[in-house]
Structure 1
Amino acid sequence: MRLLVVLMCLLAGCLAQKPHPCRSPPLLSGALTVSTQNEKLWAYAQYLYDALGQRVRLRELGTYQNKSFTQDVLLLFREGTMYDIFENNHTCSKRPLKGVFHPMAIPKDASLLGQAILGSSSGPGQGLLVNTWTGDLHGETGKYMSTVTEFGCIPVSTMYHTVQFGWMMTSFFNNVIGISDPGQLNPPDFCLDTEMKADEEPVDFFHLFRNKH
């Protein structure tokens, strides 16, 4: 009986602990949507995320200013290179990728807005405990707000403000820890001979969804 009481006290103490900034698992895959306050941009993407190798792949489709687009991009931060991949005709374009890799994480200087349950707390398995954080964008002018799961630090949503679009919101779903086919984070064979043009304008991940034409 005493052991049960002790265990219940320990459990209550763990649940009462204040949430702390965290880092998501280094290997993730899943899907996401991006939407903007001014409704100029909406996109759906399947993503692969490798924090160990600093690689990200996005296969996206969406609309920008009422025009539809599709894009398959591979971002290799260690090499400073972005590949636009066109599977239909086995061609690629290659652009310089500027900036450093930012892992999916809640920065240590973030402020906790609060903790909530998505869904319901009425029964087991009916809800998801999440933490919402806010802070200033590093290297950018504006604020961000990020929500992650309390257990596992799995991304749920991120909002940040930009001059061009106002608030941009990214929602994550169908997240899976791990990557079933790591080879998809390497350039396809038909991309290996692609040369980078000397006058190509560098792009960074933060502006990737903003520069649709």
Structure 2
Amino acid sequence: MRALVLLVCLSVGCLAQRPHPCESPPLLTGSLSVATASEKLMAYAKYSYDALGKRIRITEFGAYENKTFHLDVLLLFRQGVMYKINQKNQTCLKKPLNAHFHPLEIPRNASLLGQVVLGSSSGPGQGVLVNTWGGELQMKKGPAKYMSTVTEFGCIPVSTLFHTDKSGWMVTNFFNNVIGLVEPQRLIPPRFCQGVELEKSRDEDPMTFFSLF
């Protein structure tokens, strides 16, 4: 009987542990939506994320300042190269990628804002336990505030609020996330990109959720 009581106490103690900052799985595939509070930007994207190889492919379409756009980019951080891909015309631009790779994670100095259940806790499978974290990051052009929500189990991204003086508040929602690479070939430059010369450009990196971290 004492052993049973001890086991229950240990189990409750484990469940009551305070959440800690975490890192998302190194391989992820899914979709996301991005919007700014000013309504200047609204976009939908599909992404492939490889933290092991430091590669990201993101294909998005949306509207910026009432003008529609389509963007398909492959970011190869180890090589310091960015490919802008046009599947329709079978063309490719190769540009320098002057940015450091930062994995999807909750920074160590983040503050826990709360833990809640999305959906319902009334029955199995009706809800998911998530943690919301907040803090500030030092970006190239000044400080930025963020508030990120991830699942308690697995550290799967759910949503992120991000604020800079230039863009204001930007909200990103993740959905249909799958652990692993559903289409690994998406992280390899297409054949028509082979042999393309590297352009010397001072253009800024593509404005996507992943370019902010």
Percent identity over the alignment is 62
- Within a 5 Å distance, the mapping from 1:64-213 to structure 2 comes to 64-139=64-139, 140-198=142-200, 200-204=201-205, 207-208=207-208
Q: Distance in 1 between matches of 2:208 and 2:175?
A: 20
1:43 aligned partner: 43
Secondary structure of 1:197's partner?
A: coil
Structure 1 stretches lacking a partner, 5+ long:
none
Amino acid at match of 2:86: F
Structure 2 stretches lacking a partner, 5+ long:
none
Secondary structure of 1:49's partner?
A: strand
Amino acid at match of 2:56: V
1:31 aligned partner: 31
Q: Distance in 2 between matches of 1:18 and 1:132?
A: 13
Structure 2 CA distance for partners of 1:149 and 1:78, relative to 1, 3 Å: same
Q: Distance in 1 between matches of 2:203 and 2:38?
A: 26
Deviation for aligned residue 1:204: 3.4
Cα contact 2:31–2:47 (8 A) shared by 1: yes
Q: What root-mean-square deviation, in Å, do the aligned CA atoms of Structure 1 and Structure 2 show? A: 1.6
Query: Which deviations, in whole Å up to 9, do the C-alpha atoms of 1:153-209 show, x marking residues without a partner?
Result: 0000111112233100111000000002212101111101111222x114336x446
Secondary structure of 1:9's partner?
A: helix
| 1:58 aligns to 2:53 (yes or no) | no
Which aligned runs of 4 or more in structure 1 are off by greater than 6 angstroms?
none
TM, length-normalised to structure 1: 0.92
- How many residues matched? 208
